[in-house]
Amino acid sequence: MTAELGRSGRRVTLADVARRAGVSPALVSIVMRDAPGASQQSRQLILAVAEQLGYRPDVRARSLASLKAHTIGVLFGRAGRFHMELIDGLYSAAEERGWDLVLSALTTSRDEKQALASLHDFRFDALIMLGPPVAAPLLAGDVPLVVMGWHVDHADVDIVRTSDEHGIALAVQYLVELGHRRIAHLQGGDGLVAIARRDAYVQAMRAHRLSKQVRIVRCDGEDQLDGQRAARAMLDDKAELPTAIVAFNDDIAAAAMSVLGQQGIDVPGDISIIGFDDSVLAHGPGIDLTSVQQLPREMARLAVDRVIARTAGDAVPDRELVLEPELIIRSTTGPATG
Amino acid sequence: MTAELGRSGRRVTLADVARRAGVSPALVSIVMRDAPGASQQSRQLILAVAEQLGYRPDVRARSLASLKAHTIGVLFGRAGRFHMELIDGLYSAAEERGWDLVLSALTTSRDEKQALASLHDFRFDALIMLGPPVAAPLLAGDVPLVVMGWHVDHADVDIVRTSDEHGIALAVQYLVELGHRRIAHLQGGDGLVAIARRDAYVQAMRAHRLSKQVRIVRCDGEDQLDGQRAARAMLDDKAELPTAIVAFNDDIAAAAMSVLGQQGIDVPGDISIIGFDDSVLAHGPGIDLTSVQQLPREMARLAVDRVIARTAGDAVPDRELVLEPELIIRSTTGPATG
DNA sequence: ACGACATTTTAGAGCGCTCTAGATTTTCCG
DNA sequence: CGGAAAATCTAGAGCGCTCTAAAATGTCGT
């Protein structure tokens, strides 16, 4: 308990537990791995002793010996709200399966190659990429790999994502049902995800015979200020104002709302707005945004399971798992008045 | 080269290199560790062979065998711009020293204890905390530990931070020199850092005999919208407007600026604004913010060096390394007109 | 050519664990 | 109650590396 992190001297090892419990190391190993071959009695005893000693297996030794690291490398870029929720989910999912996660950050001066090199030192046996969205991951084909959130065209990479197409379609459809026709889209940067959502928007508009009404305002999607700039640009444009907006994500939707609010434009009275992600931002205080719901924890679980299945050599049916999002209707959408 | 990540079968081991080079494993080990005791000749040969085979030492085996993980655990929370720059710096600094980094994320549902537990499995031998700012880190005293960015009152933790006091003092001083007296502060949440900066502001105002002019507007500091809300609250307040603002950080400063801009308030004509961090945001396109400069890469280097020194048992002079920031003067500050 | 000494190389044990193969105990049934 | 089968336990080699101690080689001065 107290010595959990051994301030003094050596750390608790499997041998310590074995000695204390009066059994062989091998038996302790069996119990710790939850492998078959130990009696209920020894299990309890050993677990109790381990607990008491504050024993935690050494993943280094474990992975060395087992020829399986049981480790998933995770590549991530700038971690916003949504990504943090994903990471959170990955941790829990991995933990439940008895796997470890080792994170590696991608930054401006640290590219995929470097990040992978340092991961490689840990001998991960599978990889999950959260971002940034690249079309051709370096390790595709070399290692079980799942990308989360965007589509990759490679026979050897698995994909777990929310259907941008379906999500945007739901949003547009709902707006159309409310009588909107002039529906604009705030595009968030030039990433693959942003492109996918923009295309989905164009597609959805076409499906409703509203191609003429397509109106796209691009912003960098780096931060909320970009969103505001875009919203302002939209207002300044002397063209007729849209009556509804489908935004790339919640952040940008919120940013746009704040601009509209300042201009005395009522939401949803004058303009309806729909976000994407249904992040904590969407239903925070003072904001109650209609949004397309992604389920990060669910996605994380799928990704981890998939990756583990791959390392086990299991056959998996479909390479791409696409979750169908739902539209969470809140108070930023209403009937068209224009 | 091509087999760097061994798509096929076993990975390249030290023994492979030894065999190929026609020397003993021990010698390869010496060379790879850059330890004394090998001739220049063998060094070159072995390095060449290693390179050719795409050999990378297995950190697991290495740390197991050396009884030193050469691994620094890094705890981080939500990673904004500034934190990403820190992480970036940590990676490079650690790499240069031949140490590894293992990151562990703190999220809403994953607390310090859990994050540490999973780090513990990797047997890190030192810890760096980037956030969130806690007053009493769990592992204080158990392991070399440095916190980055805030002050902790514990004899066993090292601190690397930028002087909030000095930074804010510089900002206030500069504004006073420009003739400002009604200087307000936008406080970013209730974190230790926010509190420290706020207190520094109060202190600085007092030093200039401006205690009566102290005006603090609090916002959550979670995102830029909060900053805007705060700025708007400040404007709505029927009290006399300040002629200058010192913001908690660049994000909030930028958010405030956008509000002021919309209200037709000129910056710096009517109101001067100073940010904190001098992040990329400060000198991006369309914004040219006077800001207090932190040097994340420098901080990272100091933290890594400190932590390594501690594990080596080196005596270090001062527990707290405080960098004196500079004020980077750009175009959001000007003479008082009020 | 020969010790004395420095330099370079190697053998081999061990880090904490896993896992196969074999040893020991328990169970069950005629 | 004997003995085969099942259940439980253990010995020991090995994962890829480090590191101490000892071996091999090289360098000198005389």
On the question of pLDDT at B2 being above 90, the answer is no
What is the reported pLDDT for B10?
A: 66
Using CA coordinates, name the residue in chain B closest to A253.
B225
> Among B179, B170, B262, which Cα is nearest to B213's?
B179
Q: In this complex, which of A59, A139, A225 lies closest to B258 when CB atoms are compared?
A: A225
Using CA coordinates, name the residue in chain B closest to A256.
B225
A7 sits within 7 Å of strand C by its CB: no
Distance CA A186, CA A276 (A): 11
B5 DSSP 8-state letter:
G
3-class SS string, A297-308: HHHHHHHHHHHH
Contact A84 B63 (CB under 8 A): no
Protein-covered nucleotides on strand D (Cβ within 7 A): 7-12, 14-21
Beta strands in chain A (DSSP E): 71-76, 100-105, 126-129, 145-148, 157-162, 183-188, 215-219, 244-247, 272-277, 290-293, 320-323, 326-328
Q: What number is the average pLDDT over the span B141-168? A: 95
Neighbour-count burial for B264-296, b at 16+ CB within 10 Å, e otherwise: eeebbebbbbbbbbbbebbebeebebbbbbbbb
Contact A223 B225 (CB under 8 A): no
Q: What number is the average pLDDT over the span B214-226? A: 82
On the question of pLDDT at B51 being above 60, the answer is yes
On the question of pLDDT at B6 being above 50, the answer is no
Distance CA A184, CA A201 (A): 9
Give B184's strand partners.
B215, B245
What is the reported pLDDT for B284?
A: 66
Contact A229 B286 (CB under 8 A): yes
Distances (CA, A) of A187 to A225, A268, A333, B285: 14, 20, 19, 19
CA distance A64 to chain B (A): 7
Q: What number is the average pLDDT over the span B68-76? A: 92
Protein-covered nucleotides on strand C (Cβ within 7 A): 7-12, 14-21
β-pairing, A290-293 with A272-277? parallel
Tokens of B98: 């031949």
**Protein residues contacting strand D, judged by Cβ under 7 Å:** A 23-27, 30, 37-42, 61, 64-65, 67; B 10-11, 13-15, 25-26, 29-30, 32-33, 35, 55, 57-58, 61-62, 64-68
Contact B224 A229 (CB under 8 A): no
Distance CA A245, CA B337 (A): 41
> Among B284, B282, B273, B275, which Cα is nearest to B334's?
B273
pTM of the complete model: 0.86
- Closest-lying nucleotide for B123 based on CA to C1': C16
Contact B92 A109 (CB under 8 A): yes
For A97, residues 6+ apart whose C-beta sits below 8 A from its C-beta are A304, A305, A308
What is the reported pLDDT for B158?
A: 96
Contact B225 A258 (CB under 8 A): yes
Distance CA B147, CA B127 (A): 8
Round to a whole number and report the distance in Å from the CA of A63 to the C1' of D14.
13
Question: Residue A104: how many CA atoms within 13 Å on its side-chain side?
Answer: 24
Torsions phi, psi for A79 (to 5 deg) = -100, 95
Burial of B74 (0-12, 13-18, 19+ CB in 10 A): buried
Round to a whole number and report the distance in Å from the CA of B64 to the C1' of D14.
15
**pLDDT in 10s for each residue of chain A, 338 residues:** 333 443 345 689 999 999 999 999 999 999 999 999 999 999 999 999 999 999 999 999 999 999 888 999 999 987 667 888 899 999 999 999 989 999 999 988 899 999 999 899 888 999 999 988 899 999 999 899 999 999 999 999 999 999 999 999 999 999 999 999 999 999 998 989 999 999 999 999 999 999 999 999 998 866 667 788 888 889 888 778 999 999 999 888 988 887 888 788 999 999 999 999 998 778 766 689 999 999 999 999 999 999 999 998 888 888 999 999 999 999 999 999 86
Q: In this complex, which of B5, B61, B142 lies closest to A143 when CB atoms are compared?
A: B5
What is the reported pLDDT for A226?
A: 79
**Cis amide bond preceding B132, omega within 30:** yes
Which is more confidently placed, B1 or A287?
Answer: A287
